[in-house]
Structure 1
Amino acid sequence: MKYIYYSIVLLFISSIAIGQEVNAEEILANTKREVEKGNYDKALSLIEPLRAKFPQDEDIQTYTARIYSWKKDYKTAIKILSPMTDRVNPNQEALQAIINVYFWTEQYEKCVVYCDKYLVLDAKSLEVLKIKATCLEKLNRDQEALELIEKSAYIDNSTQAFKGIRTLIGHKSKNAVSVSYLNVSTSEPGQSPFHYGYVEYSHKFNKSAIVGRANVGNVSNDTQALFEADFYQTFSNKSYLYANGGISTGETIFPVAKAGLEYYFKPHKKFDYSLGARFMHFESDDITLLTGQLAYTAGTYTVAYRPYYDTSNELFSHVLSLQKVNEEKESLIRFELQYGNVPYLYLYNNFTTPLKAYRAGIQYQHRLGESFFVRPIFLYEREEYIPGEYRNRFNVQLIVTKRF
């Protein structure tokens, strides 16, 4: 009789347990549906009783903490996760959850500590390795980040997952050297090509940068040089100031002296705009250009318009551009349409007359390795060289830059 009694009791208890298990699964399913809808408070109201009923179920504990973290109640999430992550044998899922919490809250030092704990359990986790490398970069421990990236290459025989981090580290380079060659040729009718080149050095400070440039031009067997400097100063509201000055050894290929100033205002939503002026002194004349820019950015694309107004000759010139940038690869492609006497680099002289000029150009930047950049530029021009007479003009330029 006792055997029958205990059998009935055990069967009853098993039935309750099975009912509870089914009920728990249903509650978790409903909780996940609410999470997918973004109803985190409703999800917590469903899972908290379940968490209280099964305090030893670490899957429920971890998922509850994740909901709190998605709700941005990071303090509660850490309180739930810490007992499971700070013991001798930490829970791997809880470690992953607390890594995310510390990363989202920009507590990079602590995030690195928990990444190390996780990597003891799974040394090949690309996700955690990437988070750790990102934290090291944010902490300016760039060399450690690069070493970690190199060590991680064996996982999939590449460092593809870390390209963005390497780019951020590359942006911190203080110095760069560039060399350029520009050939200007004409046809129908043609004349001897013009040759221009420059060597440039730039250095970045915390909130400013300075650039020194030596230009050389050869036109009709005459060679002249232009020495100039650029200065950039950024401000806390994300605006910045550009200034330029230079002097030359001649009077025809380059201006005797030049200066420029342009202020780039704080971006407004997706719009950027600036106002500025350029001044060029020639032996027999002075030229002042008023300029500015209005740009609109949508994702990786930027459309910009820049006018120039020559106050001496009362001439307007216009530049319309479309640019696509890949920030991770540090590459860009840019298309331009120009009309008028647009100053291409320093090529603006005192022989300007009200003649028409139509231009279309393309340029592309490509990064080689981590620190070399090449930028080919091509600009075609239909130029009115005397009233009513047109010729073809080709500007072909190559710029090579080394960052260090």
Structure 2
Amino acid sequence: MKQLQQQFLVVLFFVCTAVFSQQKEFNGDPDVTFETARKLAFDGQRKQAQDSLVMLLKKYPNYNDIRSFLASTYSWDGNYKQAKKEFLHVLENDPKNETAWVAAINNELWSEASFSALEMAKKALENLPNSEAILLVKAKAEEKSQNPEDALKTVNYILNLNNNNVDAKNYLESLNQSLRFNSVGITSSVDLYSDEFDPMQFYALTYKRITKYGSIIARGNFSRRFNDNGTQFEIDAYPKIAKGLYAYLNIGFSNSYLYPNVRFGAELHQSLPHSLEISVGLRSLKYSETTNIYTGSVGWYTGNSYWSFRPYFTPGDSGTSTSGTLNYRKYNSDADNYFSISAGIGFSPELYQFEFEGNEDKIISLESQKINFGYYFTSKSKQNAWGTQLGISHQEISFDPGNFFWVTTLGVSWELKFK
């Protein structure tokens, strides 16, 4: 039945179009034609609907509902500039049209023109003071303009006007999550070897701060390996450079042979069309000698999934060692809730930070295969985040080439976010 209705609407549209083309002006019922165009637009035939709406506006240029709906279809198609032109025409004739103001402001937000959206919201409130719908999009524009504290004040003002505003309550919960710029976390893992080595323990304590320039992470690492203890202190930074371009910087220090004396990392990440991202970078580990590792990545977001591949190239006197890891993530509600699986081959000092004692060429050419599973989830309030990890590695023994041992890695993590 629905298919017959859609076919009827298409036939009706073409009949109307044929009639329009033979007339100098439209003489039919504008309300009936408008309703037909709306149904066509909602059924995915927006080009036909837009043609019909434009024809109507030639006869009824001040029919604001038609023009506003036409603007909305342009916005849905990503034609934000044309949508803005039509919305402004409506608002010039009807400055108290709340629905048009909200749609026009959302059009600016969708086009990532957050400052323009904020200015538009302020102008809308001059005509419609205390409009809860306009105040809500104003709060969203403030958040997108890197003013989340102002957004919080605005949404609280809405709730003072109407404590039963469900949309404002839901947005307040989301906003409180985004205002948690600080976090502390603990990570613990253990490597269980099939033979040769006793279990090796790893712990890390982190503090993270999100700023408008990017994230900064301070981390203290502690290891229990080879019946000895060692610590390492490092800092990660992810500075924003330009739209779609950011960097990764790392520096770490240790006075224990269990870690490099100095660790350094740098990488550039660039977003590309079609939800792709690429990066290129360097890692440097200084023991008695310095080992440089060249790396990069290719990532692809598709729906709620993310794929990435990262190779490592480690030059040495006997040639260049190559390793790589393929990673997959399946996201649930947000970026903190996901399942991951990764698989890799080859030995990389980036992932296995041991003192090589001058045997770098021999060790980085070792054969290795690994697979890791992870599950990460948050509390209902999103304030607490947990993670569990399971990894299995098949590693060639450095002092017994050709023979392998198995390594099982178990890990847990916890993070607390706060303002």
Per the normalisation by structure 2, the TM-score is 0.72
1:44 aligns with 2:54: yes
2:106 paired residue number: 103
1:206 aligns with 2:212: yes
2:250 paired residue number: 244
Give the aligned residue type for 2:104: V
Instruction: String of CA shifts for 1:107-135, please: whole Å, max 9, x gaps.
Output: 335436758988979x7x8xx78645423
Inter-CA distance 74–145: structure 2 relative to 1 (3 Å threshold) = same
**What is the SS of the residue equivalent to 1:104?**
helix
**What is the SS of the residue equivalent to 1:235?**
strand
Shift of 1:402: 2.4
Aligned pair partner of 2:156 in 147, 163, 166: 147
Inter-CA distance 26–236: structure 2 relative to 1 (3 Å threshold) = closer
Mapped contact 1:181–1:198 kept (Cα < 8 A): yes
1:355 aligns with 2:355: no
1:365 aligns with 2:369: no
**What is the SS of the residue equivalent to 1:311?**
strand
Runs of 5+ consecutive residues of structure 2 not aligned to the other structure = 1-26, 75-81, 109-115
More displaced 10-residue stretch of structure 1: 108-117 or 300-309: 108-117
1:279 aligns with 2:291: no
| Cα distance in 1 for residues equivalent to 2:245 and 2:232 | 29
1:182 paired residue number: 189
Inter-CA distance 248–96: structure 2 relative to 1 (3 Å threshold) = same
| Cα distance in 2 for residues equivalent to 1:373 and 1:133 | 27
1:256 paired residue number: 261
Aligned pair partner of 2:392 in 380, 387, 390: 380
- Sequence identity, in percent? 16
| Cα distance in 2 for residues equivalent to 1:23 and 1:300 | 45
Instruction: String of CA shifts for 1:221-279, please: whole Å, max 9, x gaps.
Output: 3111112222333212532232222221212x112222222222453543322222222
Shift of 1:212: 2.1
Runs of 5+ consecutive residues of structure 1 not aligned to the other structure = 1-20, 87-93
Shift of 1:148: 6.6
Shift of 1:166: 1.6
Mapped contact 2:337–2:377 kept (Cα < 8 A): yes
**What is the SS of the residue equivalent to 1:183?**
strand
Mapped contact 1:32–1:43 kept (Cα < 8 A): no
Shift of 1:359: 0.6
Aligned residues: 361
| Pairing 1:3-402 to 2, within 5 Å after superposition | 23-32=29-38, 36-39=45-48, 40-46=50-56, 48-49=58-59, 51=60, 61-71=64-74, 72-81=82-91, 86=96, 94-105=97-108, 106-111=116-121, 131=137, 133-139=139-145, 140=147, 141-144=150-153, 147=156, 162=171, 166=174, 170-171=177-178, 173-187=180-194, 189=195, 191-251=197-257, 253-267=258-272, 269-283=274-288, 285-312=289-316, 314-326=320-332, 328=334, 330-343=336-349, 345=351, 347-350=353-356, 352=363, 354-368=365-379, 369-385=381-397, 386-402=400-416
More displaced 10-residue stretch of structure 1: 334-343 or 132-141: 132-141
More displaced 10-residue stretch of structure 1: 64-73 or 256-265: 64-73
| Cα distance in 2 for residues equivalent to 1:373 and 1:150 | 29
Per the normalisation by structure 1, the TM-score is 0.74
1:15 paired residue number: none
Give the aligned residue type for 2:207: Y
| Cα distance in 2 for residues equivalent to 1:376 and 1:236 | 34
Give the aligned residue type for 2:347: N
Mapped contact 1:134–1:145 kept (Cα < 8 A): no
